[in-house]
Amino acid sequence: MTGADLGALLAQHDYRSIAIELLERETDRGAVDTAALANSPEYALHDHPEVELEYTLTPAPGCSVFGVYRHRPGAKAVILVHPSLTDMRDNFTILHEYGHHAQRQYPDWVDLRYQLSSRAGDLVEELVSDAFAAEALLPADKAMLFRLDSAESLRDYYAHSRASRAAIAMRSITLSNSTTAFVVAVIDLDGRVYFARSSDDGLFAPARGLAQPALAALASDALRSETQSVRGPVVGGLLTTTGLTRNDLVAELALDPTAPYAFVVLRSENTYGHQPRWAVEVVDCGNISCGIEFEARSSPGQCRACTTFRCPECGSCDCSQRKASYCPDCTLEYTAAEAADPRRHECPW
């Protein structure tokens, strides 16, 4: 063990060092070969005396990755994984969920975690599990060859690693020595957030699953760029789940050439002595027979197809205003990003 003071680390929000201590403790107690976890988490957990691994087609709500950890008193704990399209993503998911298991094994950490409020404790547990997975997967010496607060460098790091995009994003938070706060996110080309973390509690990370039209616009600009990357203001602001937007952010965005995703790094446009600018998002109803204006925070939610907020009165979005386009080969409708660049579409058959 490193002999770290977990209480002091928690007070400093040093989740990486907490994860390192937990990894050391897992190695010492011999429950799992932590070195093997980096190469094949599924193999390393095979016949584990405390945990069994199962796969499910139902994604887990709330967790930052596509899995869930279930503690069962008197029986083996279960790690349920919702399979993705890549082993790299699944590896991060398995290790994240095993991080939840590791946190339950040490009374001194359990006492600290449950002294927090329910909401704060859940958040800390998620952050430590993210850091646990990143530490197990990605050697620090290799990570430090890259600038970890640059979207283009994160893209390069991903290209030279067998880790998932989420693991790369988390590693940038835990290892970067940047003196300014930043958020790193992984999005699809419609701006929908798949993973996001902030290096500082004062700069919020956008929620998973929430579509960000401003980031989709930047992704569209990057598609037309020779470098497949772009830098600029987040025009229209970054949305929260409450419908508020933060309007003082700048972004770096770099497209992943292997799949329709992008790495994004967000910062405040003014670093020092600056109060964030928040605004209430006002939306026009897409239904011409209704046509009201409403605040986004009163909406029942975003439409997954067009990503606009549904009207609280009639339930309409902007789908009726958008002319659909279809793939000539598989006949499926293009997403907004695919319509802008059909080369990004992948036929399922």
When pLDDT is averaged across residues 7-23 and rounded to a whole number, the result is 90
Domain boundary among 137, 155, 184: 137
Please indicate, yes or no, if residue 237 is contained in any of the structural domains. Answer: yes
Task: Please indicate, yes or no, whether residues 224 and 330 belong to a single structural domain of this protein.
Answer: no
pLDDT tens readout for residues 54-96:
887 765 554 545 788 999 888 999 998 877 656 667 888 888 9
206 with 212: CB under 8 angstroms?
A: yes
- For 122-128, the CB contacts below 8 A with 24+ separation are 124/10, 124/15, 125/100, 126/63, 126/64, 127/15, 127/197, 128/15, 128/18, 128/19, 128/22, 128/99, 128/103
CA-CA distance, 72 to 157, in Å (whole number)? Answer: 38
Structure tokens at 19: 């994860």
CB atoms within 10 A of CB 236: 15
CA-CA distance, 24 to 12, in Å (whole number)? Answer: 20
Among 24-38, 90-104, 285-299, the range with the most confident prediction by mean pLDDT is 90-104
Please, what is the average pLDDT of the chain? 82
| Structural domains counted in the chain | 3
- Pure H helices in the chain: 6-11, 15-29, 34-39, 41-44, 87-103, 107-115, 118-137, 140-143, 151-159, 165-175, 213-223, 336-340
Please indicate, yes or no, if residue 61 is contained in any of the structural domains. Answer: yes
Q: Where residue 109 sits, what CATH number does that domain have?
A: 1.10.10.2910
Q: What is the pLDDT of residue 316?
A: 82
Beta-sheet pairing, 278-280 with 244-246: antiparallel
| pLDDT bracket for residue 101 (50, 70, 90) | very high
CA-CA distance, 179 to 172, in Å (whole number)? Answer: 13
Residues 6+ apart with CB under 8 A from 122: none
Q: What is the pLDDT of residue 216?
A: 94
CA-CA distance, 270 to 88, in Å (whole number)? Answer: 36
Domain boundary among 279, 294, 313: 279
Please indicate, yes or no, if residue 1 is contained in any of the structural domains. Answer: no
CB atoms within 10 A of CB 178: 16
Task: Please indicate, yes or no, whether residues 222 and 249 belong to a single structural domain of this protein.
Answer: yes
pLDDT of 337 over the 90 cut: no
Residues 6+ apart with CB under 8 A from 293: 282, 283, 284, 285
Task: Please indicate, yes or no, whether residues 303 and 348 belong to a single structural domain of this protein.
Answer: yes
pLDDT of 25 over the 80 cut: yes
Residues 6+ apart with CB under 8 A from 212: 187, 191, 192, 193, 206, 238, 239
Q: Which of 29-43, 54-68, 155-169, 211-225 has the lowest mean pLDDT?
A: 54-68
Task: Please indicate, yes or no, whether residues 132 and 150 belong to a single structural domain of this protein.
Answer: no
Please indicate, yes or no, if residue 324 is contained in any of the structural domains. Answer: yes
Q: How far is CA 135 from the centre of its chain?
A: 16
CB atoms within 10 A of CB 13: 13
pLDDT tens readout for residues 127-150:
899 889 888 877 665 555 556 778
Closest CA to 222 of 101, 44, 344: 344
Task: Please indicate, yes or no, whether residues 235 and 148 belong to a single structural domain of this protein.
Answer: yes
Domain limits at 305? 281-349
CA-CA distance, 187 to 79, in Å (whole number)? Answer: 26
CA-CA distance, 79 to 200, in Å (whole number)? Answer: 29
pLDDT tens readout for residues 165-193:
888 888 888 777 777 889 999 999 999 99
Task: Please indicate, yes or no, whether residues 273 and 208 belong to a single structural domain of this protein.
Answer: yes
CA-CA distance, 233 to 248, in Å (whole number)? Answer: 8
Q: Percent of the chain scored above 90 by pLDDT?
A: 28
Please indicate, yes or no, if residue 75 is contained in any of the structural domains. Answer: yes
Please indicate, yes or no, if residue 35 is contained in any of the structural domains. Answer: yes
CA-CA distance, 18 to 24, in Å (whole number)? Answer: 10
Give the sheet arrangement for strand 193-198, strand by strand: 193-198, 183-188, 261-268, 249-255, 229-233
Closest CA to 170 of 91, 239, 230: 91
| pLDDT bracket for residue 158 (50, 70, 90) | confident
pTM above 0.75, yes or no: no
Task: Please indicate, yes or no, whether residues 103 and 149 belong to a single structural domain of this protein.
Answer: no
